[in-house]
Structures are given as structure tokens and as C-alpha cells.
Structure 1
């Protein structure tokens, strides 16, 4: 178990994108495991201990982490779930779209890691990044998203190697299409024709991804640099 905060008598977790979707499910799972959870999100909503910040803004992330540390105590678990999804043919992806996708996903992970690694080193903590099945298998009209998520996997493995000696564990989950508001109702990933190609014949559920994150944070003390594929069998 990670060290407890003297402020809350509970270990402290930080979740980006914790206001909805997979992030909200992770907040629920870690809270149930006894963590005091703070969130960084563009749209805080009703989540307790949430600070509004754009994860692509390093200064804003640093301020948000400092504020949550002041409220809750040193962070011993970090989950980076903030992100967005869009489809476009590669010929129609402009330079701004490429840059924004990389800033939010890869840059967001870099910014959170830099801001929290001192705490994680001190607490012997765990970082879990939310990547994507598309980082592993690619996808039609998903080039910039798949590239950004693929870069996350490379960074996770490098961070795992760099921090292992200090007791920090760094892992990733790679969900397939998941039943969250991120997927529009008319998304091709929701089409019955696509779902029939999956071994489980359905979308992944946010709570299922959260259970894998919880496992990596709380139980997989032997694991670092690993990627857990949570995708209804889309990548086997």
C-alpha cells in the first residue's frame, strides 16, 4: 500500500480527466480502495477536490498539482486519463490538429509526470497512463490520435526504466472503443457491424478499464513498463 497522507490518513491519488468517462470511473474505483482522490480537468463538474486546468499547459498543471498537494498531501498514485478523440483522413489533418493532439495526450502525460514524480519517488508510487488500442493496432482515419497514443506507450516504457531504481512504477492501459460520451452516438465504433467483429461483441465499459487501472495501482507491485489491453478482444 502506498504511504498515507498525514492530512487525510489515506493515500492520495491524482486523476486527470476525472470529471467524466474513464477518468470518473477511475476516481470511483480508487476512492473505493481507500484513496483520497484529486482531479485535474478542463470541466470540473461536481467532482470533489477538482482543479480546473488544461493538461497541455505545463504551468497550469504545476499549479493544479501544488493546490491538490496542499489540500490532500503528497501524491502516491497518478492516472492520466485526460484527452479527446476525433477522426479524419490523414490528408485532412492540418498542422494545428496534429499539434493539439500531441500537446494534450503526450504533452499532458509529460506535464503531469514532471509535476508529480518528486512525490511518487518519495512515496514509492505508481503512474498509470491511459493509452488506446489504436496505439497498438492503428486505425482507419485515426492517424493523429493513434500516433499520440502510441507516443504515450514509448514514454511509459522509458519512464518505467528511468524511475524503477527509485521505486516508482509506470504502466499503461490501452482501452478499445469504450462506452463513454467521447464516442458520439453515430460513431462507427458503435455500429453493430463493427461490434460483431469483436470477440466480446460489445464496447468496453469504463468500469472495466478502471478495474485494470486499480489493479496496476494497488496490486501489481511486480509490474512496471507494462501495457494492459482492455478492448473486448479487438487486439489479441
Structure 2
């Protein structure tokens, strides 16, 4: 799109090998952006980059590795120019009872989703100050209302919400805009894998009808690109999540009431065990 403000701008997307990150890269490329795609899964990342139009740089990076992020930022600066947009999208998830979770896996979810998001901002913030750019943090319904069986994921997404608000306040006077995207359930490989496990499948099944709905990746990325072009402070996908934000104090008692009713039945039917890292991205992370 010739009239997009992203045309000929350098845009960084983390977690770009598959899912929302890959679909977002496709739409950004059609807007004429110069793309720098980061992911730890190099084969999947290069497959995504190979079919994109325009200028694309694919770099294998673990977002928890500060030195690797700094090297990536220097490479992007030199080959594409300083980024005007950074989308912190990299994330992993596991499900299951906290008490039975593997401590290393639990910590890894926090490290990738929260620490990795902060390190991404740290690496590219000098560029965004230089370009008066835009940083978009991908968050979740889990940032607004924590749910059982997803303790590490919910903790990490609540953390990135607080981090985003802090970063926005600290950088606004430098001309940097910082946004946050609250996403509901989205039809990615991660969610399809999660539905194989009773602990996570039942969690979604007992949510109110709007909250359990799974939206298409295409719907999500269309709104994300619009948010980037408009430098939005917050975007809620689907839109009703804004109402959840306004009434979030009421969510924990409702969750507690539902789980007290349903968890005993679930535990009597089948042992609730940890899922391990979900989806092909999670499995790749676990073996890298």
C-alpha cells in the first residue's frame, strides 16, 4: 500500500517464525516496510522470510539473550536502517497445575515472555528514540484476568502489561509511542495444541461464550497493522476486551467461583498434568 506510513520504514518483529508473528510480517511487507524478523527457530524463520515480498532480514535470536539482541540491533541498523517500529511478539506457554509444573519450564515462560520483552525494548530503544518510533507489546486477555492452569503465562502477561505502562511513561517525552495489544484466543498452532490437553481445553470451555471464542489470525493481524500505523496506545482484539479491562476487579472472584465448581470434577475424571511447552514453537524452544 503506497500510502501506508510504514512504507520504506524498518520494522522489527520478534517471534516471527510462525503464527501471529509470521502473519503480521506478511501484512507489514505488503505495506512496503523493510522487515527484520527475529526468532530462535531458524529453519521456520527462514521459510517465512523466503516468501515475503520486499526487503526482509531474518535473524536467529533468542530474546532472552541480551548480547544476541544487541548484535541483531547493530546488524539491522547497518543493513536496513534504524527501526521505526518494534513489535515484541515472542512468547511461549505451558498449561497445567502450578504445583506439578517443572520449575525450569515455568521459569522459561517467564523469561521469554517478560524478560525477553524487556530485553527487546532495551536493545532497540535507542533506535526508537532516534526515529521517534513506536513500540508495540503483544499482551493477552491473561494480562487482564488470570486463569487457573496457566500460572506462568498469566504472570508473564500481567508483567508485560505493567512494563509497557512504565515504558510509555518514561519515553513519551522522547517522542516514542508505546502501545499494548490485548489478544483473546487466536487460532494458532499453539492454541490448537493446547486443546489436546484437558487442563487447558476445559479452562476455555468454562469461560463465558465471548471469552472462549477463537478468532482467526487474519482478523488479529489486520487490527495489529492498523494499530501500528496509527501508533495506538492500546488495542483490544476482540473489541469487547475493553469492557473486561473496565471491570477487571470483578474477574478474580468469578474465576474462583467457577474453578471451585469445576476443578474437583476434572481432577476426579483424569489427572491434571503439565502440558510442557505448547505448539511447535514451544517444542523448538525446549530443544534449542
Check whether TM > 0.5: yes
Check whether the contact 2:94–2:109 (CA below 8 A) recurs between aligned residues.
no
Is 1:199 the equivalent of 2:236? no
How far apart are the structure 2 equivalents of 1:142 and 1:201?
Answer: 15
Provide the residue aligned with 1:16 in structure 2: 14
Check whether the contact 2:4–2:31 (CA below 8 A) recurs between aligned residues.
no
Provide the residue aligned with 2:132 in structure 1: 124
How far apart are the structure 1 equivalents of 2:229 and 2:206?
Answer: 32
Task: Specify which of 221, 224, 232 is matched with residue 210 of structure 1.
Answer: 221
Provide the residue aligned with 1:142 in structure 2: 150
Q: Shift of residue 139 of structure 1?
A: 1.1
Check whether the contact 2:185–2:212 (CA below 8 A) recurs between aligned residues.
no
Identify the range of structure 1 (142-151 vs 94-103) with the bigger mean alpha-carbon deviation: 94-103
Secondary structure, in 3 states, of the residue corresponding to 2:86?
strand
Check whether the contact 1:132–1:174 (CA below 8 A) recurs between aligned residues.
yes
Secondary structure, in 3 states, of the residue corresponding to 1:229?
strand
Secondary structure, in 3 states, of the residue corresponding to 1:99?
helix
**Higher relative helix content:** 2
Q: Deviations over 1:163-206 (max 9, x none)?
A: 00011011111211110111215256667x82984338731222
Provide the residue aligned with 2:35 in structure 1: 37
Q: Shift of residue 231 of structure 1?
A: 4.1
Secondary structure, in 3 states, of the residue corresponding to 1:129?
strand
Count of aligned pairs: 228
Secondary structure, in 3 states, of the residue corresponding to 1:15?
strand
How far apart are the structure 2 equivalents of 1:207 and 1:164?
Answer: 31
TM-score normalised by the chain length of structure 1? 0.86
Q: Deviations over 1:58-113 (max 9, x none)?
A: 11111122222222111000001111111021212343233211210111111111
Q: Shift of residue 2 of structure 1?
A: 9.8
Check whether the contact 1:203–1:232 (CA below 8 A) recurs between aligned residues.
no
TM-score normalised by the chain length of structure 2? 0.72
Q: Shift of residue 122 of structure 1?
A: 0.9
Check whether the contact 1:98–1:144 (CA below 8 A) recurs between aligned residues.
yes
How far apart are the structure 2 equivalents of 1:57 and 1:171?
Answer: 23
Alignment of 1:65-84 (within 5 A): 65-84=73-92
Is 1:27 the equivalent of 2:14? no
Task: Specify which of 216, 226, 229 is matched with residue 236 of structure 2.
Answer: 229
Distance 1:11 1:168, change over 3 A: same
Check whether the contact 2:114–2:159 (CA below 8 A) recurs between aligned residues.
yes
Q: Shift of residue 28 of structure 1?
A: 1.6
